[in-house]
Amino acid sequence: MGATLENAMVTDWPEDGSGVLWQAPVGGRSTPIVMDGRVFMIAPAGGNETLHERIVCLDADTGKMIWEHHINVFHTDIVENRLGWTSVVGDPETGNVYAHGTGGQMICLSRDGKLLWQHSLTETFGRSSGYGGRLQTPIIDEDRVIISFTYILTQWGTGKKKAGHRYYAFDKRTGDVAWWAQPGDKPLNTTYSAPVVTVVDGQRLLVAGNADGNVYGMKARTGEKVWTFKLSKGGLNSSAVADGKYVYISHSEENISGTVMGRVVCIDASGKGDITETGEVWRADGLQVGYSSPALANGRLYAVTNSATMHCLDAKTGQSYWSESMGRVAKGSPTATADGYIYYGEVNAHFHILKDAGDHCEMISTKEFTREDEIVIEVNGTPAVANGRVYFMNNDATYCLGSRDAKAMPLPIPSMMAEVPADTKTPSSLLVVPAEATLYPGETLKLAAQLYDNHGVLIASPDVVWEVAGTRGSIKSDGSFSADAANAFSAGIVTATYGKLKAQSRIRVSPRLPIEENFDDMKVGTQPPGWIGVDAKTKLVDKDGSVVFQKMALRPSAKYMRMRAFATSPIPTGYTVEVDMRGELKPGKRPTLPDMGIINARYKMIMLGRDKQLRLVTYSPIPRVQKDIDFVMEPDVWYRGKLSVDIRDGKAIVRGKVWPKDSAEPGSWTIEMTDPLPNTEGSPGLYAYSKGATVSRPGAPIFFDNYRVTKND
């Protein structure tokens, strides 16, 4: 809510610096959290060849480092100065900390920094990220950790909705997929709005701003859509805050109605269906609050525009009480106390302490951050308040404001409204858990059906009728699914039926190494089953009497022109990927060759057709580590490529070679590089970029065949 039940113990920032309890050399752009005497955050680490992210745990009393967990960055277009965009979330019940890394890692750590489980959202679930750094922060609700991401292309068992903004609920203890939902239309851009949970008329709802510009209310335990509120012609970045049935959210783009830009709105979340007209309680047009999320405290809503002007509005009516300019640029959100003090960090190196004085604002203190080397300091996160202290980060350090004598304040967490009792006589929906999984051949997975009432309350785990389609395997009446022993790719759905209710789980089977795939046994016109990142831009085709894998080039946008295809979930580094590749010229007056290559353990070897080079690279936007050599790719020629990665003495040895397929394999490697910060795992796959696509003409086509993955000796 952007608020605390505590009264302010920090009421100014003395010029002599006496208000700073400690300062730790951990800088970043996110929001710290405070839990059980510790401060947790995500932040950039290292530089140049060793640039990465780390999850940090500090002592809340002293600022001393307790532990840090390091994570590499890969498979993203997000640039260097946007690392550490998301914030971590803590679970008071288990003490666990959850983080979403820029490379797509969804990580669960214990209070003491032990890795409990993780997922690669990009390689396993198809997450995509733009260059601007907009990524979603996870939230905790009951036994679920919920994260969302955009522009997924995962091809099987999703119906007609392929690319979109999808929400995943993971079991917070095991990482199993509890449910996934895709309530909206085509994303308008990447976003970072985090959901909020509230109880409305006895029903537990997950309320989320979406990349399609709408706000959605979903049943929190099942992901079922309850209502839609159409708000903006651009994706939503600010997160909603809720007070019972009232939901507050904002944006700074074009409104779906009217001519002004930006809107703050209060929504009555008790409706169903399209509530755009019926659910609006009040609006404040012209307030471009697009990045900072509103804070709700003491019956007032505090909203900060993109140009860093804070507006104080009556939460019930939208009446404006006052506004206060705090600088030029706003990204983080305000935090308000029970007695009306407000803490805010403005991007351009300012931290403010304000006081809501009723009909006006009092600016109590302003601290400006500077460095002798004149490096720009930014404040992008939101202050956290705990036990009379204020914690926040700028990109240079983490600060704790307050007194060393401050004592813990055991204030109760506000309870939500009561939920209605379970209606055991009227089942409304069915779930299968896990809702999505990847198996190896011969492995067994226990599936379970869950029955929910109309309010999304679990009422039973019924006996159901099971059916398997697409995935190679069989299922017993108790829900035990056994993958076929054949070492082959397959993907499909397992359906549970209970009366008229049905539910599905997406199951894929990925072969163990060695993998030998010539695509000849696959159906022309489809994609390799279970591969991630291939739908809508690839297909299997007949070429010269053989079935080959084609990267199409029909749409002039980066997400369709480029392909990062992942054949399996991440596996430990220490393997070699081989494939035949053929690039053809783009037809037309300006013939252009494509780029094509291999992915191995989050490293890429790319044949750059137009640039006449062969490249090894990881984390391309910097690049963190890269090696180029001259290489001329001829059109309409089948090449054989081989990329091998090993870890020796704490470094990754990346080696590749490319040669015409009808020639003998070279005895030595064509290109080599060493990475001092090795990727210790990653999915094997293929890379392609079809240059030259326009609205009227396709780009340069690419073909792959005889794909092979083997363990290194």
Q: What is the mean pLDDT of residues 106-128?
A: 96
Q: What are phi and psi of 673, to 5 degrees?
A: -150, 160
Q: How confident is the model at residue 153 (pLDDT cuts 50, 70, 90)?
A: low
Q: How confident is the model at residue 694 (pLDDT cuts 50, 70, 90)?
A: confident
Residue percentage of the chain with pLDDT more than 70: 98
What per-residue confidence (pLDDT) applies to 46? Answer: 96
Q: How far apart are CA 713 and CA 574, in angstroms?
A: 8
pLDDT at residue 577 greater than cutoff 70: yes
DSSP secondary structure letters along 125-147: H--B--TT---PPPEEETTEEEE
Q: How far apart are CA 220 and CA 229, in angstroms?
A: 17
Spatial contact of 369 and 394, defined as CB atoms under 8 Å apart: yes
pLDDT at residue 81 greater than cutoff 70: yes
- Give ∠ CA 434-435-440 in degrees, rounded to 5: 65
Q: What is the mean pLDDT of residues 639-668?
A: 97
123: enclosing H helix or E strand: helix 121-125
Global pTM reads 0.96
Burial class, 116, CB count within 10 angstroms (exposed 0-12 / middle 13-18 / buried 19+)? middle
Q: How far apart are CA 376 and CA 378, in angstroms?
A: 7
Spatial contact of 215 and 184, defined as CB atoms under 8 Å apart: no
pLDDT at residue 76 greater than cutoff 80: yes
What per-residue confidence (pLDDT) applies to 481? Answer: 98
Q: How far apart are CA 277 and CA 704, in angstroms?
A: 51
> Which residues sit opposite 605 in a β-bridge?
598, 616
Q: What is the layout of strands, in order, in the sheet containing 273-274?
A: 196-200, 203-209, 214-219, 225-230, 273-274
Q: How far apart are CA 173 and CA 151, in angstroms?
A: 27
- Give ∠ CA 662-663-664 in degrees, rounded to 5: 130
The amino acid sitting at 356 is: D
What per-residue confidence (pLDDT) applies to 376? Answer: 87
Q: How confident is the model at residue 154 (pLDDT cuts 50, 70, 90)?
A: low
Structure tokens at 442: 């011969």
Q: How confident is the model at residue 132 (pLDDT cuts 50, 70, 90)?
A: confident
Maximum Cα–Cα distance for the chain, whole Å?
Answer: 82
Q: How confident is the model at residue 161 (pLDDT cuts 50, 70, 90)?
A: low
What per-residue confidence (pLDDT) applies to 152? Answer: 63
What confidence tens digit (pLDDT) does each residue in 424-482 have? 999 999 999 999 999 999 999 999 999 999 999 999 999 999 999 999 999 999 999 99
Distances in Å between the Cα of 556 and the Cα atoms of 151, 361, 479, 552, 602 are 16, 50, 44, 11, 26
DSSP secondary structure letters along 365-384: EEEE---TT-PPP---S--E
Which of 39-53, 151-165, 200-214, 219-233 is predicted least confidently? Answer: 151-165
Which phi-psi region, left, alpha or beta, contains residue 418 (left: φ > 0; alpha: ψ -120 to 50)?
A: beta
Distances in Å between the Cα of 126 and the Cα atoms of 85, 148, 517, 634, 675 are 19, 11, 22, 32, 26
Number of C-beta neighbours around residue 403 at 10 A = 13
The whole-chain average pLDDT of the chain stands at 94
Count how many residues are written for the chain. 713
Q: How confident is the model at residue 326 (pLDDT cuts 50, 70, 90)?
A: very high
Structure tokens at 227: 């209502």
Q: How far apart are CA 556 and CA 695, in angstroms?
A: 6
Which phi-psi region, left, alpha or beta, contains residue 629 (left: φ > 0; alpha: ψ -120 to 50)?
A: beta
b/e sequence 301-322, b meaning 16+ C-beta within 10 Å: bbbbbbebbbbbbebeebeebe
Q: How far apart are CA 203 and CA 457, in angstroms?
A: 8
What confidence tens digit (pLDDT) does each residue in 10-29 have? 999 998 888 999 999 999 99
Q: How far apart are CA 704 and CA 710, in angstroms?
A: 18
Q: Are strands 225-230 and 273-274 parallel, antiparallel or unpaired?
A: parallel
Q: How confident is the model at residue 536 (pLDDT cuts 50, 70, 90)?
A: confident
Spatial contact of 570 and 682, defined as CB atoms under 8 Å apart: yes
Distances in Å between the Cα of 678 and the Cα atoms of 92, 488, 570 are 34, 29, 14
Give the CATH fold of the 427-509 domain.
Immunoglobulin-like (2.60.40)
Q: Which one, of 100, 104, 118, 172, lies nearest residue 140 by Cα? A: 172
What confidence tens digit (pLDDT) does each residue in 355-365 have? 999 999 999 99
What per-residue confidence (pLDDT) applies to 90? Answer: 98
The reply to whether 427-509 and 515-711 are identical in fold is no
Cis peptide leading into 587, omega within 30 of 0?
A: no
Spatial contact of 36 and 95, defined as CB atoms under 8 Å apart: yes
- For the chain, the structural domain boundaries read 427-509, 515-711
CATH homologous superfamily of 515-711 = Exo-inulinase; domain 1 (2.60.120.560)
Q: Which one, of 100, 99, 102, lies nearest residue 51 by Cα? A: 102
